[in-house]
Amino acid sequence: MANRNLDRVMSLGISDLALDRVMEFIQDPRDRNAVSLVCRRWYEADSRTRKHVIIALCYTCTPDRLARRFRCLESLKLKGKPRAAMFNLIPEDWGGYAGPWINEIARDFQCLKSLHFRRMIVKDNDLEVLAQARGYMLEVLKLDKCSGFSTDGLRHIGRSCRYLLS
């Protein structure tokens, strides 16, 4: 851990390090968004220090774009289908597939501890990929109003994700 911090200090200037420390005290996502619009340096500081992201509709951002901007995410909440889907106003095959997101999470999100999918289609093989890639550090997995998976997918999660909190 000490070597990692030393490498960070060496790669960043002292003023960037101070800005990162200040950014840690800004918790409200709206405030974070406003701060990141001030200038390029503040945008980059927000990218380095933000730990939690909520995406209200999975089609507003691509998985690779999220991975490029926020390399150190610890928590991600991702919403798929609009709320109208709960009342059968949207066709079942409308979209909201978790597969592309899980593939990107497996590849790039090294610090992710908490993952929350809401109204998304999560397949068994998606859960298997997630369990194999991030099972060793995943602490929270919420599949809220999701469909497309069975007990086989949950079995992969149960076997590989030893640190899940109840």
From the candidate CATH numbers 3.90.1640.10, 1.20.1280.50, 3.40.228.10, 3.40.50.1100, the one assigned to the domain spanning 14-50: 1.20.1280.50
Q: Is 37 exposed, middle or buried (0-12, 13-18, 19+ CB in 10 A)?
A: exposed
Q: What is the pLDDT of residue 92?
A: 78
Q: What is the pLDDT of residue 166?
A: 59
Q: What is the pLDDT of residue 65?
A: 95
| DSSP state string for 40-97 | HHHHHHHHHH--EEEESSTTSS-HHHHHHH-TT-SEEEEE-S-GGGGGT-S-TTS--B
Q: Is 102 exposed, middle or buried (0-12, 13-18, 19+ CB in 10 A)?
A: buried
CA–CA gap between residue 151 and residue 161 (Å, rounded): 15
Tens of pLDDT, residues 59-95: 999 999 999 999 899 999 999 988 887 788 888 778 8
pLDDT interval class at 23 (50, 70, 90): confident
Q: What is the pLDDT of residue 10?
A: 53
The answer to whether residue 8 scores a pLDDT higher than 60 is no
Sequence-ordered strand ranges (E) for 90-148: 114-118, 140-144
Task: Look over the chain and give the mean of its residue pLDDT values, rounded to a whole number.
Answer: 88
Tens of pLDDT, residues 120-161: 999 999 999 999 999 999 999 999 999 999 999 999 999 998
Q: What is the pLDDT of residue 162?
A: 87
Q: Which of 41, 34, 102, 31 is nearest to 66 (CA)?
A: 102
Q: Which residues pair with 141 in a beta bridge?
A: 115
Q: Where do you find CATH 1.20.1280.50 in the chain?
A: 14-50
Residues 6+ apart with CB under 8 A from 110: 71
- Sheet of 114-118: strand order equals 52-55, 75-79, 114-118, 140-144
CA–CA gap between residue 23 and residue 51 (Å, rounded): 11
Tens of pLDDT, residues 134-143: 999 999 999 9
CA atoms within 13 Å, Cβ hemisphere of 107: 11
- The arithmetic mean of pLDDT across residues 35-46, rounded, is 91
